[in-house]
Structure 1
Amino acid sequence: MIGGIDARAINRGAAPPRTSRTLLWIVVLGILLGFTFQGSRGLWGPDEGRYVDAALQMMDSGNYMVPAYSPAELNFSKPPLTYWVIAGSMQLFGRNTWAARLPYALAYLATLLILFAMGRKVCPGKPWLAPLVYATSLFPFLTSNIISTDVLLTLAESVAVLGFMMFAWPDSVLQRRYGRLLMWLGFGLAFLIKGPPGLLPLLAIIAFTVLCDGWRAAGRLFAAGDLLVFLVVGFTWYVLVISRYSGLLHYFIHDEVYGRIFTNMYVRHSGSFGWIVVYAPVLIFGTLPWWGGAVRAVKVAASPSSWRTWREKRSIRLLLFLWFVLPFVVFCLAKSRLPLYLLPLFLPLALLVASRMAPAFDLASRRNAFLLAAWVGTLLSIKAVTAYAYGAHIDDDVGAREVATAAVGIDYRALVFVEKATDSYAIEEQTPWGMRLYLGKPVYGIRWMDADAATQICAAIKAQGQSLLLIDRGISREDLERALGHCQASATPAGAWRKYLLFVAHD
């Protein structure tokens, strides 16, 4: 008995389980793993704070078209759909951590449901196995509680690939008719979440179609009406902001595409072996506890005879193999590498593992049921520890309470962090943007080495009125006073917090 449902009823004998019962089991598991302790942990900097801060800036300014860190600092590094989703949740459920993370728990649950639909095509007798593998694999479980683009991107890509599966292996006329439309809708959403990386599964879809059906069949993927849906959903925002801000097209192409793929400008493990350092631990530990199935899937996929058989039979396993391998090669070759980039690849990995384990895996076995229940308990324990006993040094909720204590009795309308950073990207990484959620005040991040740093500080004080300056200890008070002299502002010492000296500034 797991999650209140009899495991033996799911898998008894050779007959396939009832879809409604197994689907309910997956929903219960997804709710248990996705929502438990979901709002208990504060925002971890820098990434979680950045996304929530940008959503709050949209809500406070009423400008949902242009992402921004603060009233003075625009942020086009990511398309806006992630910010829209977070802002929508906080509009409905309040400005709190639980509401900020709610879309991610829902996305985790929705991804399991889509994997269930995929599982009906990959291993029809046990469609629940793929979502079970994904839900309980260590990496997807841990990331389900992290505010980022990647959880939402994984959901959008799963929608797109499910659409292709419906088109390529239809169970009905309706699936054939609307599968391709769903595919392009999913890719449009993926592009609005993360730009070009959202289209990586399309490489696998095209490669599979060409290998099995030829180039002419690949051309049929690009039907005008369905492609229009992709263009409208994925590109409308880009067209609007590029027409409004000069130089933005160059920024998207040069910084966000060329810079991330071919340069070290974002300082993300760009060395020759950086991909091993980042991705090997994710694949080794992130696939726990399904190592056995993963190893068997790799052995089969590594056999050239398997490729020939898959191609001759137009097997869905060839699509899954290409869906994992082609994006992974791109991630390894690109110079910007982060663990979360691999999250969407756990979708084909879960399906491949399920396809190998389906003939022998029996959830009615008391041993399997006990081990699974114990592992679920372990996962929830890990989530509890990270919520209550780890991460205080990067928790913006903890930091906000410390700043509030250090500045008790002081009336200020904004927090202005001035960092002695070597590059502009460091401002994104060092500024605790998430404090905005807990203190209810705009957060500015300014690099002291910028030629116009003094102008930026003065502009923030003028726009917000009395502000709390958090000055890197490496900046002398004399230099700060000279900077404030540009706008005849004054600063009064107000204590210290961590690596910052606190000043109250007003014009």
Structure 2
Amino acid sequence: MALLACLLVLLGFAFQGTRPLWSRDEGRYTGNALQMIASGDYLVPAYNADRTNFNKPPMTAWLIAGSMRTFGQNTWAVRTPYALAFIFTALLLVGMGRTLIPDKPWLPGLIYACTLYPFLTANIVSTDVFLTLFEALAGFGFVRAFLDQDATHPRRWRVLMWLGFGLAFLTKGPPGLMPLLGMVPFVARRDGWRGLGRLFTPLGLLVFLVTGLGWYAAVVLTHPGLLEHYLRYEVYDRIFTSVHDRHGQWYGWIKVYVPALMLGTLPWWWSLLRGLRRTLAPSRLRTLWRVPGPRLFLLLWFVLPLCVFILARSRLPLYLLPLFLPLSLLLAYVLRTRIDLRRRSQRVLLVVWVLILIGLKGGVSLYEHPKIDNRLRTRELLGITRDMHFDSLVFVRNSDSESDVDETTPWGMRMYLNRPLYGVAWRTEGSQQRACELAKQHPDALFVTGRYMPNGAFQAGLKSVCPALKPMPAGVWRKQKLWRFR
């Protein structure tokens, strides 16, 4: 266990903060955390003083803000919670392994840590790494309460399970309850209605309500229309419509999820395919259903949420990350007789693979600088404006959608500039007046108009509401015009 813990720390923290923030999500969550620190308001996620961000619950921003308050405003601080989440997720799998694979309890944690997809995603600023951690906590509580015959005080483990679900719900909402899709039919098949009563224990549900729904209740009561936003835009639209433009075609799941599973399960994917092929054989499935045991639960935990992800119209590769929990446990069942680290050849292969993983992470961190690199963007902007003082940055997009501004504004630049950022959708009602107010509140602001803004539209729009303001060209940055006011 000590060697596994050292390996987890190495994999979790190697080059963890070396890569700059990349937009979109990395900048948004970091920007929300910076605004919390600047304003002292930790209840309402926001990009700046007048633009809230209720698209996701605040758990991710809370963890990043707490880390930055402790370690400073830098990418190492931003990604430290992700390294810790990666480590503790693997350790929770070890805890489940003590019940499910007592002869090699460390194996599920080792498999998870050395699988390509969980390893790489632990370096991405998103909600899904924390979601996976809290679902692992819920899964650990379930395994101890329902699958460990020697467990004492099973009621406490059930409460722990619901605490995990509450934290998961506070991280990403309804997707945090996905493991229940496997738990409910398994318990119903094995223990009947009485078993479901133990699963939905009143004390556990109370813990979930307080932990998972307390924040939602607070903000819904103080922000009219927010409940409709969550139920329609964040739940109904993501499942049944393509409004989020995330591979909503009928074949979108093939483009997104098949490569993620095939490449993401390296170096185990061949063993996984062989194990699933044997498990999914009709005779084997009938046996698993007649004698419900841990493997049936793990199969249900993986297959049923995967079916939901396939059917939902909003699809991104990171959505699959929590499914690597049951995958790691299933792989441990498949590989437990084949993996023996007392053999020198296997230890050498493990060391080589770990070096490959760290080398890949380090190579991307040090040498990959795409256009969405917010540090690169900031350096280019400061190079153009080196003789110019500005106290804030305002991005004006030729759009009629506020969500488009949320998606396209490089919020991560805030950390490198140490200045607030604002976004304006130019073709929405009142946008010209809002730009005018920002210019008055921040006389030294630098405005950036997108490349698709028609010539003269910015000047004419401001003149109609703020005739005293005179926008002056201040240069061009990435084919976007820069403006100051006099």
Range into which the TM-score falls when normalised by the shorter chain: over 0.9
CA contact 1:212–1:312 (8 Å) conserved in 2: no
Residue 155 of structure 2 aligns with which residue? 177
Mapping of residues 50-61 of structure 1, within 5 Å:
50-61=28-39
TM-score by length of 1: 0.93
Residue 471 of structure 2 aligns with which residue? 491
Partners of 1:459 and 1:264 in 2: how far apart? 35
Partners of 2:450 and 2:71 in 1: how far apart? 36
Unaligned runs of 5+ in 1: 1-22
Aligned with residue 249 of structure 1, among 201, 209, 227: 227
- Per the TM alignment, residue 425 of structure 1 is displaced from its structure 2 partner at its CA by 3.0
Partners of 2:293 and 2:274 in 1: how far apart? 18
CA contact 1:90–1:99 (8 Å) conserved in 2: yes
Partners of 2:19 and 2:407 in 1: how far apart? 20
Aligned with residue 79 of structure 1, among 47, 51, 57: 57
Which deviates more from structure 2 when the two are superposed, residues 482-491 or residues 231-240?
482-491
Aligned with residue 461 of structure 1, among 415, 433, 439: 439
- Per the TM alignment, residue 76 of structure 1 is displaced from its structure 2 partner at its CA by 0.6
CA contact 1:212–1:311 (8 Å) conserved in 2: no
CA contact 2:399–2:428 (8 Å) conserved in 1: no
1:349 paired to 2:318: no
CA contact 2:369–2:376 (8 Å) conserved in 1: no
- What is the aligned-residue identity percentage? 47
CA contact 1:412–1:468 (8 Å) conserved in 2: yes
Aligned with residue 326 of structure 1, among 286, 304, 309: 304
Residue 206 of structure 2 aligns with which residue? 228
Aligned with residue 63 of structure 1, among 38, 41, 52: 41
Aligned with residue 211 of structure 1, among 165, 189, 197: 189
Mapping of residues 266-277 of structure 1, within 5 Å:
266-277=244-255
CA contact 1:26–1:113 (8 Å) conserved in 2: no
Q: After TM superposition, what 4+ stretches of structure 1 lie above 4 angstroms from structure 2? A: none
CA contact 1:26–1:112 (8 Å) conserved in 2: no
SS at match of 1:174: coil
Mapping of residues 281-430 of structure 1, within 5 Å:
281-421=259-399, 423-430=401-408
Partners of 1:311 and 1:92 in 2: how far apart? 50
CA contact 2:165–2:212 (8 Å) conserved in 1: yes
TM-score by length of 2: 0.97
CA contact 1:210–1:217 (8 Å) conserved in 2: yes
SS at match of 1:493: strand
Partners of 2:85 and 2:18 in 1: how far apart? 18
SS at match of 2:178: helix
- Per the TM alignment, residue 106 of structure 1 is displaced from its structure 2 partner at its CA by 0.3
Give the length in aligned residue pairs: 484
Code of the residue aligned with 1:489 in structure 2: it is: L
- Per the TM alignment, residue 208 of structure 1 is displaced from its structure 2 partner at its CA by 0.6
- Per the TM alignment, residue 64 of structure 1 is displaced from its structure 2 partner at its CA by 0.9
Q: Deviations over 1:411-431 (max 9, x none)?
A: 211111112246443322221
- Per the TM alignment, residue 30 of structure 1 is displaced from its structure 2 partner at its CA by 1.0
Residue 483 of structure 2 aligns with which residue? 503
Code of the residue aligned with 1:363 in structure 2: it is: L
Which deviates more from structure 2 when the two are superposed, residues 442-451 or residues 228-237?
442-451
- Per the TM alignment, residue 304 of structure 1 is displaced from its structure 2 partner at its CA by 2.7
Unaligned runs of 5+ in 2: none
SS at match of 1:412: coil
- Per the TM alignment, residue 491 of structure 1 is displaced from its structure 2 partner at its CA by 1.9
- Per the TM alignment, residue 159 of structure 1 is displaced from its structure 2 partner at its CA by 0.2
Partners of 1:505 and 1:262 in 2: how far apart? 46
C-alpha root-mean-square deviation of aligned residues, in Å?
1.4
Residue 43 of structure 1 aligns with which residue? 21
Q: Deviations over 1:157-184 (max 9, x none)?
A: 0000110111012354535131101100
Which deviates more from structure 2 when the two are superposed, residues 485-494 or residues 108-117?
485-494
SS at match of 1:394: coil
Residue 142 of structure 2 aligns with which residue? 164
Partners of 2:207 and 2:264 in 1: how far apart? 35
